[in-house]
Structure 1
Amino acid sequence: MSSGNSPARSLPLTYAGLVLTPLFWAGNAVVARGTVDSIPPLSMAFWRWVIALAILLPFAWPGIWRHRGVIRQHLGSMLMLATFSVGAFNSLLYVAAVTTTATNIALINATIPIFVSLLAWIILGDRTRPIQALGIGLAIFGILTVVARGDLSVLTGLEAQPGDLIMVAAVFSWGLFSVLLRRQAVPLPGFTFLSTQILLGTLVILPFYLGDLLFFSGGFKLTRETALPLAYFAIFPGILAYSFWNYAVHSIGPSRAAIFIYLTPVFASILAGIFLGESLGLFHIIGGAFILAGLLLATRAGRQVPDYSKLSR
C-alpha cells in the first residue's frame, strides 16, 4: 500500500464511511419494512442483486474470467457460501419485514457477532472464555426480550411474531456463512469473490423468485415508487456499504471497525420513528441493553472480531 501522509488524510474518509455503513444497513431494514406491501420480499431480494450485479459485472468480469480455474475448483464451497449469504440472508430479512418492525430487524441483526462466536465454538471448536460465554448468554437473553416483546407468555405460548423468528434465522444464516468462510477459504481477490458470490447467490434465489412470482405474489408493477427502493437496496446497503466497510477494515482493522456495527439499531430506530411511525418500547431498550452488553463482552474479551469485509449485507 502507499505510504507517506495518505493514511492520515484518509482517516476522516474512513470514519465517515464507517458512520454511513450502519446508516445504510439500517435503511435496508426501514425501506424494506416501508415497501414490503408494494414489492414482495423475494422480488426485493432477487432484483436487489440483479441490479447490483449489472453495476458490478462489467468491472468484475475480467477478474472472474482470469480466476475461472480457482472458481471452478472451489465451486461447491462458493455455492454453499453464496446460499447462506446472498441467497438466504437478505431474502429472510425481507420476508421478516412483512410481520415485524424495522427496529426489531435491526436489533436482531446487530447480534451477528454473537452468532458468529457461538457457531465458531460449535463448528470450529474455537475456545470460548467464561466472559465470552456470559456475553453470548446476555445477548441471547436480549434477543428473547425483543422477540417476546417483554412478555414471557409470548414465548411460552409460542406467540412470537413470525418476522422476529425469521430474522433470527437470517442472522443464523449469516453467522453460518461467516464461520464456513473461515473453514473453506477461497483464494480469490475480494472484489472477484464478492462478484462471484452475488452471481451464484442470484442464481440460488432465481427458482424461489420464479415460484413466488408464478404461484403466490404475482410480482409487482415497476413504477418510480418501486424502482427507487430497489435501486437503494442495490447501491447503498449493497455496493457502497461494502466498499466503505472494506476500506475501513483495511485502514483501521476489523476490531476497531466492528464497533460501528452497534450504530445500526440506533439509526434504524431513529429512521423507523421518522418514516414509519414506529416507537421504542421498554422491551426494546431492555433487550437492546442486554444485546449491547453481550456484544461488548463476547467480541472484546480476547477473541478477534470477525472480519465482515468479504461481503456486504
Structure 2
Amino acid sequence: MRRKSRRPVSPLPQRNGVDPVHLRLPIEGPWETVRAYLVERLAVVGAARVDAALAGREIVGEAGPVAPDEPFTPGAHLWFYRDLPDEVRVPFDLAVLYRDEHLVVVDKPHFLATTPRGKHVVETALSRLRHGLDLPALSPAHRLDRLTAGLALFVVRPAERGAYQTLFRDRLVRKEYEAVAPYDPELSLPRTVRSHIVKERGVIAAREVDAPPNSESRIDLLERRDGLGRYRLRPLSGRTHQLRLHMSGLGVPILGDPVYPVVLPEPAADDFRRPLQLLASVVEFTDPVTGREHRFESRRTLTAWTAPDRWAAGADPEGLAPGAADS
C-alpha cells in the first residue's frame, strides 16, 4: 500500500487564529502554468482576483511566492489567505474555565460559532482561542451549535485530538443541557424521546421520519413558573438539532428558536436580542490521556428564566454568573 505523503509545514502563519488555505496541485492535468490551474480551480473568485494575488505575491509555495507565469508543477503545494467575509463582532466574552497541557474548556456565549464555517470565520471560538491563548494548533473535540451557549472542549495537541473525539463518538461523555420553554401541564415528564432524525445538506431544519430511531433524549422538568418551564435535557445520542427538534415535537419549543417549529426569517447579523434559550450546562468524562475524572459546569444563565423582564424587553441577552474568568 502506498503511504500518504505528509503535508509540509505552511510558510504562512495564521491570521487572527485562521489557517491559510492549502492547495496541492494535481499529479497530472492540461495546465501549463500555476495561474491556469488556479483560474479554473478558483473560478468562484474570478481570474482578476487570482491575477491580483499573484502580482501581489500573496500565493506562496515551498520555495516562496509564486510568479504569475510560473510553470505548473504536478503535486506542488500552495498556500494563501482567503478573502474573509465581513463579520459583525459577537459582543460577548468567551470564558475559559479550564486549561492544561491537553485541554481547554470554555463557556461559549450564544451567537459565537465553535469553528470557522460559512459566514463565520474569525468570529468563532476556535479563532479567538488560537489567537488569544497563542495556541495555533488548538482544535475542537466536538461542535456546539452557534446559537447554543455553554461548555465546549478544545484539544491542545493535534496527536491527542482523536482520543478526545472518540469519547464523543462512543458516547462516553455525559452531557446535560438546560432549556427554557413553555410549560404544558398535560405533558408527562420525565420522559425519553426516541426518533429517527434526518438532516439534509443545505436545508436548515432537520426533520423526524418514520424509521428506526437514531436519536434519544431524556427530558425532565426542573421547575415552572408564569407559564414557562426550566428543563434538563440529556442527549444520549448526538444528532444535529436533536434537543431542539425533540422539544418542539413535544409541543414545547425552546424559547428563541428561529428554526423549530417553523423557520423564521434570518435576523440582522448584529441582532443579538433573542438568544436561543439552550445551554450546555454540564460535561463529565474520564480523560482518555491522563485518566482524570472531569466534571465541568457552565457559569452562564438563561436570561428568559433568570431575568424574564430583560428577556421580554430584548435587552442584555447574555447572562454570566459572577466569578467567571473571561479570556
TM-score (norm 1): 0.23
Higher relative contact order structure (alpha carbons within 8 Å, sequence separation ≥ 6) = 1
Q: Which has the higher strand share?
A: 2
